[in-house]
Structure 1
C-alpha cells in the first residue's frame, strides 16, 4: 500500500465491515474475545483490527505478534496486513514463533549447538521399541507418535503420563506402563543424538522464558500486543507459552469457536476459550454470527445439528453460535441412502459430472469422509467416470518426495530452459516427463495416482500462472513462485475434485461438498463412546457441513459391498436434519437400477469422453473439455482463440479477477471451434453453465460478434 494510503484517516480501514466486525476491529486495548462462527469473516475482522491500531498509532507494527495454527493461514494474514498498510506485523504459527526465539537466545542462555529439528518421530520410536524388544508395525508406530505428541503438548513427562493416562485408551494395545517406558526410551535416544521434535521447540522456549528473566524481559519488550487465531485449538503447552509471552499483561485478543474444536486427540482443549471471561473478567466479548460463506439452507443444517445436542449432564456443552446467512437462497441440501459403498460412490461421481456440466469447476467440489480408508471407492468411481481428482492428506504438498524431486529437476534444467523458445508450461511438462509425468492420468489408484496428481498440479500451476501474467512468464519466475509457495505451504489448486478427510478439510471451503459414508460406526466413529467423544464427532460433522458454499449432499450406504445385507444404519446426526429442516423429500434410498449409477454404468456414461481426432479415451479434465488428447492437433480457429484470450484478459482486468475465473483456455478453444452464437449453443460448450452464461454471456457474445464483424 502506498504512503498516501497509510496517511489516510484510520477510520477508513473500518469501512466495509459489518456491525460486529467493526466492534471487534475498533476495540484496540485490553483483553478481547471474538467468538466467530464458520464463514463469518474472522480473519477480515482481526486483520482490520491490527491495521486500524497501526494507523491510529496505538500499535507499533513491529511489536505485534499474531499467532495462527498453520503456515498458510499465517502467510494469508501477512498478505492481508500488507495490503491494509501494516506490513511489519509478525504473523506466525506457535512453532515458528517459538523456534525463532529459541534460535536467537540459545547461544546466550544454553550455549553450544542447538539440537537439530526432527521431522518425524516414527524412526526413533521404532529404534526405542526395538531396544525394549517390543514388536511394532507402521500403524502401531503412528499411534505411538500421536500419543507422544499428546503427552508432550499436555506437558506430561513419562512419569507424569502414568498418573494422567488412566482414562485414555492404551495406544496400539500397549499398556500405559509399557508406553511410558517407550516414551522415556524415545526421549533418551533423542537427547543422545542432539535432536528435538516439534513439541520440544515449545517446551524449550517455555523453559528458557521461565528460567531466564533477562530473556523473558527482552521478549516482552519486543511484543506488546498479541492476537491468537483458532483459540479453541490451543493445547496446555501452547497456553503456557502464551502466558509467558504476556508476562501478566492483558493486551490479548483471541478468536475462536468452541463448535469447531475437532483436535482434542492432539491435546487441543476449548476450555481456555470458554473460560476467557473468568480469567479476564473485564474482557470485551464480540460475537460474529453473519455467515458470508454458505447459503441459508446450508447454515440452517449447521444450526440444527448443533441445537440437537441439548446442554446438561456431566459433559459441558456451551450454547453454540446461531449463524445467520447473508447470502441469497440456494438449492436444498440432499440426503440420500444407497445400497452399498460402490453405489454411493458411483452416485457421487454422477452428481459431480452434472455439477461440472452446469459450470461448477471441479476444483470447487469436494468429497469429504471420516477416515482416509474410505477414499478408495471414490477414487475408483471418479477415475471410471473420467473425472480428475486430487487426494488431500496430512502430508504437506511441498513435503511430498515427488514434489521435491520435481522442483529439483526444474532447478537443474532452468538454465537451459531460459534459452528455450517454448512457453513455461511446455518446459515444465518436458522436464517432469523425465521423472514419470504423462499427459494422461493413470487408470490405477493409490500411490501411483497420488504421484501423478502431484506432478499434474505443478503443470496446472504453470498453465495458470502463464495465463494470468500479462508479460512474458519465465522459468525463473515459476521457480521463484514455487519457492514462495513452499515457504507458505500454499499448495497449488488442481482442476480436480478434492478427496479429503473431515479433519484435513478444516479451514477450507468449496462451492459443492459431498459428505459421504454418514452411517453409524463412521459418523460417529465406532470408538467414540463417551459423551465427550460423541460431542467431538458432532462438531466434526458441523465443520464438514460448513465447508459448503452452495451445494451440499449428505449420503450413506446400507451395505459395505454390493449384494450385502444392508444392515448399516444412517448416522444418528441425520435424524434431526431430516425431521426439522423440511426437506422436499425424505432420505432417498438409491438401489442399483433405481436411479443411481453403478461404477460400470457411470463408466459407460462417461466413455463418450474420447479424443475426436484419434479416439483415445480422455481422463484429464482439460482434455475432456477440449475433446482431444495432447498428441492431436487443435481443430479450432487459432485467430479467434487469440482474439478471445485478448478479450478475456481485458474483461478480467475490469472485474479485478484472475483471467481463468472467466473461462479456461479449454473452454475458449471449444468456443473457437464451434463458434456458438445463441445462448442454447453456448450452453452446449463444456465449461459454460447457467451461472457462467448469466455472468459473462453477453460480453462473450459481443466479443464473438466483434470478431465476425472485423
Structure 2
C-alpha cells in the first residue's frame, strides 16, 4: 500500500523522451538544488542496473557535478570496457604499446610474464613497437613467432573485418573475434552477464556518438572516451552518490533520484517472467525510503536497444500504484504519457536521435567568448584561468586552473561566466 509523508514535499515524477534527456533532467535538477543550498553529498541517484550509470555519469560530468559510484566502478573504468577499448586503440594505432600489453593475454593465450618481458626488452633495444617485435619474435627467443602468431592472427582478422564498418560494428567485431565474448560466456563468475551488458552499453555509446558527430571517426570516439576517463570531476568525497538500488539498503540521503522507472527495467523483464515481482516491489520501497526529504522518480519513454533502434517502455507499474494526487508530476510533454497515470495508452514509437534537442543545456556565456588566458567563474569551483581549449562546436573542452586544482569542462554545458 502506498503511503506518503504528509508534512514534506510530494515526490516529483518526471518522464523524459529518452534516457539521455532523463540524465540531462537529473543533472539540471541537481545543479539547481545545489544553487539553492543543498550539498552534493546529500544527493543520491539510484538505478536498477549498473549499465544505467554510463549515461548518468556522462551527463553529470557535462555539468561539472562531482560524483562517486558507490560499491562499483565508474563505467569507463570497468575492466571489460578498458579491455575492449584497448583492442579498438590497436585498430586505430598498431604502435600503441600500452594497449598491446593490456590485451596480450586477454583472453588467456599462454603468454607468460617472462615472454612479455623479453618482448619488451627486444622492442626497446631495437626501437620497435611491441606488435612489430612480436611479428619477428623468433629473432630473440626460440619458437617466439609461434607463441605470438595466434594473437597477431586475431588482430589481423579484426582489422580486416572492421574495414569500412561503423564504430558500433567494430566493437561487436572486437568482442566476438578477440574471444572476449566467449571468455565471458564460459566464465562461472556471476558478474559475467553484467560485463556482457556493459560491453553492449559501450556499443550504444558508440552509436549515439556516430548519430551526433558530423564526421564520426574511431580516433575521435576513442579520444572522447579517454577524455571522459581522465576528467577529474570524479571525486571520492563531497560528490553525488550513484548506486544500484540493491547497494542503497541501510543508507539515507536528503534527496534521492530513482532513475529508470519503466517496465522491463524496473521491474525487470526477468523478474516478471520468473514471478519475482514481490522482490522488485520491496526493492522499490527500499529506494523510495532512502530519501529523508525530497524524492524524484524519473523514467524515459524510449530507451536505446543493444540491437540498435529504441524501445518504447510503459511507466513502471510501481508508479501506477501511486495515486496521481500524491505526487507532483513535472512531465509536460503532450506526446509522452505522463508517469503515474493509471490509464493505458499506446505511446508513440520515437527515435530519440531526432529529439536530442529536447534538453539542450545552455552555458551562461556564449562559447565563442572563451579564450586561453581568460578568467572565468564556475558555480562550484569558483574563479579559474583557462589554460587550453580543444575540440570543435559543442565538443569544445577547456582545461581550467581553479584554486582547488585543474578541471576539464565542456564549454557548451558548464555553468561558466566570463570575468575577463
TM-score interval, smaller chain: 0.3 to 0.5
Instruction: Looking at secondary structure, tell me which structure has more strand per residue.
Output: 2
Instruction: Looking at secondary structure, tell me which structure has more helix per residue.
Output: 1
Q: TM-score, normalised by structure 2?
A: 0.44
Greater C-alpha Rg: 1
Q: TM-score, normalised by structure 1?
A: 0.27
Higher relative contact order (CA 8 A, sep 6+): 2
